[in-house]
Amino acid sequence: MSVQHVSLAWNGRPVEIEIAWILPELSTAPVMVFLHEGLGSVAMWKDFPQRLCQALGWRGLVYSRPGYGRSTPRPVSETWGPDFMHRQARELLPALLQALGLSGPEAPPLWLFGHSDGGSITLLHASGASPSLSGAIVLAPHILVEDISVRSIEVARQAYESGPLRAGLARYHDDPDSAFWGWNRIWLDPAFRDWNITAELAHIHCPVLAVQGLDDEYGTLEQIRGIARQAPQTQLLELPGCGHSPHRDQPEALIAAVQAFVKQQPLRPA
């Protein structure tokens, strides 16, 4: 992947968004946009986006949200509110897609592929998207806050403060404190315990593949089964021997499932 930067305005200031194109020579192919987890970045996807796009014969776009990877770090004084994923889905992502020519009637077929917080952002974008979105694939998304999520995020805080997590994240983020504390503090904020996007899922009209590992340490199967109740066009994939990151724990099974799923769908939404 060749890393570049795109300039946008965000939170009243200019930011540089790290992006990487996959198979850019496939100029007329559908595009899969990858949205990373709460501590993720372009580099933390490793080779999975490349493998998936090669299997599909599609282009791919991977990007790091502000505060992550090689994008502009979060200012120390900036704290996130309970609407932080809504803002990413309905403000930042549309601005990025527009800047890259991936929105509007002349744009190629567009799919979103989101993991964890990126999966929630994907669902929120799809719930308010125009009919141009062809489909969405979400891995271990959050649609509500569960006790298991909070417990695991508390463990992550301990690992960051006194364990090896900070050093590990420093390999992937210019400012690991920006990435970690932006995510960790809002998830552990008592005001976030009531965050719930279940009702908004009924407004999703595109095809959805929702994937979760049976050993996910950050959420129960209610996180994806709740999507299917609200958006009945959703297909579920529940993977044994798999934790919170299906693309790392079960990449072959996931790629095969995505290939089968997208073949069932029209190239463009009706």
Q: For each successive 10 residues of the chain (270 residues), what is the average pLDDT?
A: 89 95 95 98 98 98 98 93 97 96 90 98 91 92 98 96 95 96 97 97 96 97 98 97 98 98 82
C-alpha 137/C-alpha 141 separation (Å) is 10
C-alpha 60/C-alpha 57 separation (Å) is 10
Whether 231 is covered by a domain: the verdict is yes
Whether 48 is covered by a domain: the verdict is yes
Q: What pTM did the predictor assign? A: 0.97
**Residue 225: CATH number of its domain:** 3.40.50.1820
So what's the pLDDT on residue 132? 78
Q: Which residue has 């090896």 as its token pair? A: 164
Instruction: Count the domains in the chain.
Output: 1
Whether 124 is covered by a domain: the verdict is yes
Whether 223 is covered by a domain: the verdict is yes
> Which residue type does 112 have?
L
So what's the pLDDT on residue 37? 98
3-state secondary structure of 139: strand
Whether 270 is covered by a domain: the verdict is no
Tokens of 190: 């008592």
3-state secondary structure of 174: coil
Whether 268 is covered by a domain: the verdict is no
So what's the pLDDT on residue 129? 72
222 lies in which domain range?
A: 2-263
In the sheet that 59-63 helps form, which strands lie side by side, from edge to edge?
2-10, 13-22, 59-63, 31-35, 110-115, 133-139, 208-213, 234-239
At a CB cut-off of 8 Å and minimum separation 6, what does 265 contact?
A: 134, 135, 207
So what's the pLDDT on residue 270? 59
